[in-house]
Amino acid sequence: MRAVRGAAIALAAAILAGCQAAPAPTIPAEAVLVAGGGEERVELNRITDEVWVHTTYADYEGSRVPSNGLLVVTDAGVVVVDTPWTPEQTEVLAGLALEAFEAEVTAAVVTHAHPDRMGGAPYLRDEGITIISLEIVATTAAATGYVVPDDVRTGDAVALTLGGVELEVSYPGAGHTVDNTVVWIPEHRVLFGGCLVKEQRAVTLGNTAEADVDAWPVSLEAVARRYPTADVVVPGHGAWGDLGLVDHTSSLFG
């Protein structure tokens, strides 16, 4: 793992000890961790001890836009769901994970081919970190010039076990993009809705340049049916909440 520029972490309390029976990563006592600065700033916010939201920022049409992904701590390392906007931010995130959890990033799942989902993929590729996606995402990535994931799964719903943690990656249908997928972590009842789902404060659908606005509501219904036990729903941008975010996104269609 290359040294990370400016990845100084403000830790306010002692690091909790990990499991002594196996070399599991330690868990920071803090609910919020920060590394980097300026355009390379990375924030981590705890949902559970093992599931954190990573947030990074980029300028879009004159505004500073936050983008969310997940960081999942496993017994075999850290799994990232969607990268930050850039390779540089992704390098900072990897350094933050290493310092905070004493674990390297071992795999990443990307949910669609846009810069806020896989803009950091060149860093992962260069470091030899496995990039996983459904086939529809890999196909879109290849067609649009993004790094093509090296572990491509077929089907509309695929179960993964990474470091002892189960995840499901599923494609509910088109919406924000033709290839938008979601990630479910059943042990923690956390659903990463990505850009298919909007935050509660959203009053518009945002960027619809590649959207299928007719299919989008139907895809949201499919998500709600498949994951009715989700306690936490994380949108691609903004504050996370519960399944009410899926209903709220549906309401934006009028």
pLDDT tens, position by position, 45-59: 999 999 999 999 999
Architecture, CATH, for domain 32-251: 4-Layer Sandwich (3.60)
pLDDT at 9: 36
Domain boundaries, the chain: 32-251
User: What is the average pLDDT value for the chain, to the nearest integer?
Assistant: 91
For residue 254, pLDDT over 80 is answered with: no
For residue 60, pLDDT over 90 is answered with: no
pLDDT at 62: 83
pLDDT band at 6 (very low <50, low <70, confident <90, very high): very low
Query: Of 177, 140, 171, 176, whose CA–CA distance to 154 is shortest?
Result: 171
pLDDT band at 29 (very low <50, low <70, confident <90, very high): confident
Q: Are the beta carbons of 211 and 89 closer than 8 angstroms?
A: no
pLDDT at 165: 98
DSSP per-residue codes, the chain: ----TT------SPPBP--TTTTPPPB-S-SEEEE--GGG-EEEEESSSSEEEEEEEEEETTEEEEEEEEEEEETTEEEEES--SSHHHHHHHHHHHHHHHS--EEEEE--SSSHHHHTTHHHHHHTT-EEEEEHHHHHHHHHHTSPPPSEEE-SSEEEEEETTEEEEEE----SSSTT--EEEETTTTEEEEETTS--TT--S----TT--TTTHHHHHHHHHHH-TT-SEEEESSS--BSTHHHHHHHHTT-
Query: Of 252, 250, 174, 171, whose CA–CA distance to 217 is shortest?
Result: 250
pLDDT band at 24 (very low <50, low <70, confident <90, very high): low
Please give the average per-residue pLDDT across 131-146, as a whole number.
Answer: 98
Residues serving a catalytic function are: 112, 114, 116, 176, 207
Q: At what angle do helices 216-226 and 244-251 cross, to 10 degrees?
A: 160
Question: Which residue has better confidence, 219 or 10?
Answer: 219
Burial of 113 (0-12, 13-18, 19+ CB in 10 A): buried
pLDDT tens, position by position, 161-208: 999 999 999 999 999 999 999 999 999 999 999 999 999 999 999 999
For residue 18, pLDDT over 80 is answered with: no
pLDDT at 25: 66
Report the alpha-carbon distance of residue 140 to residue 232 in Å, rounded. 28
Q: What are phi and psi of 101, to 5 degrees?
A: -110, 0
For residue 13, pLDDT over 70 is answered with: no
Quote the percentage of the chain above a pLDDT of 70.
90
